[in-house]
Amino acid sequence: METDKDHVHLFINASPFLSPSDIMAKVKGKTSKIPREEFPDIKHLPSLWTRSYSVSTAGNVSSETIKRYVENQRKR
């Protein structure tokens, strides 16, 4: 995982039976629950995330290559 001011890069290994939209719904749902509990001032917001996301598959690329790519995004 790498974060920037306005986005997050996640490298997720998931079952092929889960759709990208289902995975992102779970990620966004779980990661918005804790801040809402900790900071009551943001409870009234309809969402902490936008509805958009981008998904890419790794194919024949090694995990190390993907990790380097994600880590290097911070330097851009």
How does pLDDT run across 1-47, given as a tens digit for each residue?
767 777 787 888 888 899 989 998 998 888 888 888 899 899 888 88
Model confidence pLDDT, tens digit, residues 44-62: 888 888 888 888 777 777 8
The predicted pLDDT at position 70 comes to 74
Overall residue count recorded for the chain in this entry: 76
Q: What is the pTM of this model?
A: 0.64
- Print the domain residue range for 70: 2-75
Cα(53)–Cα(51) distance, integer angstroms? 7
- Residue 8 β-bridge partners: 3
Domain count across the chain: 1
